[in-house]
A = this chain, B = another copy of it.
Amino acid sequence: MNPQALQIPTPSIVLDAPTVRRNLKRLADYAKSHNIKLRPHTKTHKSALMGKMQMDLGATGLTVAKVGEAKVMAEVSSDIFMAYPAVDPLRCAELAKLAGRVTMRVGIDSSTAADALASAARAAGTTIGLLVDLDVGMHRTGLQTPAEALALAQYVSNLKGARLDGIMFYPGSIKDESAESIKQLQGVDAKLAETIALWAKSGLKAGIVSGGSSPTAYISHHVKSATEARPGTYIFYDMNGVYGGYAKLEDCAARIHCTVVSNAVPGQFVIDAGTKTLTSDKNGPNPDSGHGYILEYPKARIAKLTEEHGQVDSTRCDALPKIGDRVTVIPNHICPCVNLQNQVWWKEEGQSPRPMDVDARGRVF
């Protein structure tokens, strides 16, 4: 093991800088070659520095889920999209203020949200761009039909303080890059095209059509109606990506350094990463795979987590770690893991890891 790692307390997330850069560059190149704008979702890294890296590679702007994240990312991008319906007066007031400094857009699916945002913008003397959220299969948020989307677009187009900027969608129900997934994306595209055409008939323009995810990032060009993509996890990837077939182990840039703290119970060893480090998120494509992948012990299975303990089934292991050894874990889902840390570690080749703040974590709203 690299003795430099001993300088890092465990459990810590270490980001491999060359891998991060390779992941960012690869998608930036893909997007450029397909004439798709990229608006990466910063919920994965919650770091202004990494948001800046994405902007420097040509991103058209950044995506956030929270007002607190928007404030941080506004330091490195003048074009912020909150892919989350703001309706709370506190949220709307902060966004309206921010709209005085940067281009601020919000995705909404109700006239209540449109009213709340427009009213806050009028009070602040600013304008907020609104994208109408269209459900394309995730069934989480989003209007159900092109007709409903048109009705909200018409409503927004008459609201002072708001500016109708286009359509938002999230193909989160499509989990990989398979032929079946491409077919589903083409279905998404058809629904978008129908909506855009309906708007056009009413004299309304969807200037921005914003969608996308990491699992479908490299098949985004099948959604021909979209103008921009909003993947998040692609900066780091995780075991969801590996078992989902859209990432390789070597693409996983975020690795959690852990210490083996016990082996008193036969058939297992215990690492100092429990749910307060790895979260309880199961692996989507492979729910029985355990709570992450231990690079040094590929046959081990992180079988059970409590808050600060990870119980690793070692019965299939060829060799066993000693107490005090360090191991590195790729988690199932990296986004909520980063969100648990105040700091992560940035590791350039041949250099000691440097601490890096997770600036935008812990924002309430």
Contact = CB atoms under 8 A, between A and B. Distances in A.
Interface of A: 6, 9-12, 43, 65-66, 84-91, 109-110, 112-113, 116, 133, 135, 139-144, 148, 172, 259-266, 268, 270, 272, 275-276, 279-282, 304, 306-309, 311, 322-324, 335-336, 339-343, 362, 364-365
A131 B71 CA distance: 47
A112 B148 CA distance: 65
Given A139-B265, A263-B110, A275-B279, A91 B340 contact: no
A302 to B, nearest CB: 13
Contacts of A139: 265, 268, 311
Contact of A322 (B9, B112, B308): B112
A341 B340 CA distance: 9
Nearest to A266: B144
B110 A66 contact: no
Nearest to A364: B9
A272 B263 CA distance: 40
A232 to B, nearest CB: 9
Contacts of A84: 261, 272, 308
Contact of A364 (B91, B261, B282, B341): B341
Contacts of A89: 6
A324 B282 contact: no
A274 to B, nearest CB: 9
A109 B266 CA distance: 13
A144 to B, nearest CB: 7
A172 B306 contact: yes
Nearest to A6: B89
23 contacts: A9-B91, A11-B364, A12-B364, A66-B308, A84-B308, A87-B260, A87-B261, A88-B324, A109-B262, A110-B262, A112-B322, A139-B265, A140-B304, A140-B309, A144-B266, A172-B306, A275-B279, A275-B281, A279-B279, A280-B282, A280-B336, A340-B340, A340-B362
Given A87-B260, A139-B268, A140-B311, 8 more contacts: A9-B88, A11-B365, A12-B364, A135-B264, A148-B264, A276-B336, A276-B339, A307-B339
B324 A343 contact: no
Contacts of A362: 340-342, 362
Nearest to A170: B306
Contacts of A265: 135, 139-142, 144
B141 A270 contact: yes
Contacts of A86: 261
Nearest to A332: B280
The 10 closest A-B pairs by CB, nearest first: A280-B280, A9-B365, A342-B362, A112-B323, A109-B264, A141-B262, A87-B324, A9-B364, A85-B261, A65-B308
Nearest to A267: B139
A43 B110 contact: no
A304 B139 CA distance: 11
Contacts of A135: 264-265
A348 to B, nearest CB: 20
A343 B363 CA distance: 10
A171 to B, nearest CB: 13
Given A135-B264, A323-B112, A10 B365 contact: yes
